[in-house]
Amino acid sequence: MRKLPESMDQPLALRKSSKPLRLLKKQAEPVSSNEIWLLTLSDLLMLLMIFFVFVLAVPFAQTGHSQPVAALVEKPAVVITESTPRATPDASGTEEMARLEKDLLEVLGNREGGKGATVEKRPHAVILTFPEQILFDSGQAQLKPFAWPTLTAVASFIADHPGLSIEVQGHTDDRPIRNARYPSNWELSADRAAQVARALVRVGVNPLKIATKGLGEYHPGVPNIDEENRLKNRRVEIQFSLPQS
């Protein structure tokens, strides 16, 4: 029988590794799940950085020169509004009011039934004022007969100025009134304004152009301190104004 070599007859010796066994085990372990999310996060941050670089580079390429980063942020539009100044009568409106005052005075003239009536020019209207004694008896709202010629002249003035707006206002003093027909000064002043407006319509004024208002004792022209002032406050005003533009 053939004899094996002596070297092959001995058991094989294990080769000792120069690295510690602990390190070999660590290299063999797969990457844990706790470390995978760090790789994903780093990739995401890299993509975001590339995106922002691209976004900032586009305006530079369009303008051909660099701008500060703050200039690339769109600023909100600032709307500057100017407050509308309160309407004031212009020169043409003032001149028109002066012409209306002159024409009304010429139409009224020295008519017998209009003695005591006054004409006043204000910024937006011309006011024709009839004291109570010209149109009515005290506490009544029936027109006196000799008031009709004056109201006819007023209707002629209105016809010559078709663009006017007309408002008839009734006023009283502060003495209370209470009877079966007029429970208060409001009713009396409103009835007087309506009677004057009805008379103007009867002599040719378009009723669509006239408004009436009863103001009672609440808008006195002068303080109600004596009988003379109370007489002035018992009145009817006709206001002529230009239409608002």
Following DSSP, what letter does each residue of 86-111 receive, concatenated?
PP---HHHHHHHHHHHHHHHHHHTT-
Q: Whole-number mean pLDDT of the chain?
A: 79
Does residue 198 form part of some domain? Answer: yes
Name the burial class of residue 128, with classes exposed (0-12), middle (13-18) and buried (19+) by CB atoms within 10 angstroms of its CB: buried
Strands (E), 114-244: 118-121, 126-131, 165-171, 210-214, 235-241
Does residue 133 form part of some domain? Answer: yes
Torsion angle, CA of 22/23/26/27, rounded to 10 degrees?
Answer: -150
Q: Which two tokens stand for residue 111?
A: 């008519």
pLDDT interval class at 158 (50, 70, 90): very high
**pTM for this predicted structure:** 0.63
Does residue 159 form part of some domain? Answer: yes
Classified as helix, coil or strand, 236 is strand
Does residue 17 form part of some domain? Answer: no
The reported pLDDT for the residue numbered 31 is 53
Does residue 136 form part of some domain? Answer: yes
Does residue 97 form part of some domain? Answer: yes
How many domains does the structure of the chain reveal? 1
- Which residue would you say has higher pLDDT here, 212 or 37? 212
In percent, the amount of the chain with pLDDT more than 70 equals 67
- At 87-109, the pLDDT tens digits run 454 666 788 899 999 999 998 88
Does residue 190 form part of some domain? Answer: yes
Domain ranges, residue 215: 91-241
Cα–Cα distance for residue pair 169/48, rounded to 1 Å: 78
Does residue 78 form part of some domain? Answer: no
- At 41-85, the pLDDT tens digits run 777 778 878 877 777 776 555 555 544 544 444 544 444 444 444
In percent, the amount of the chain with pLDDT more than 90 equals 53
How is the chain split among helix, strand and coil, in percent rounded to 5?
Answer: 45, 10, 40
Q: Which two tokens stand for residue 94?
A: 């003032």
Q: What is the CATH number of the domain that holds 213?
A: 3.30.1330.60
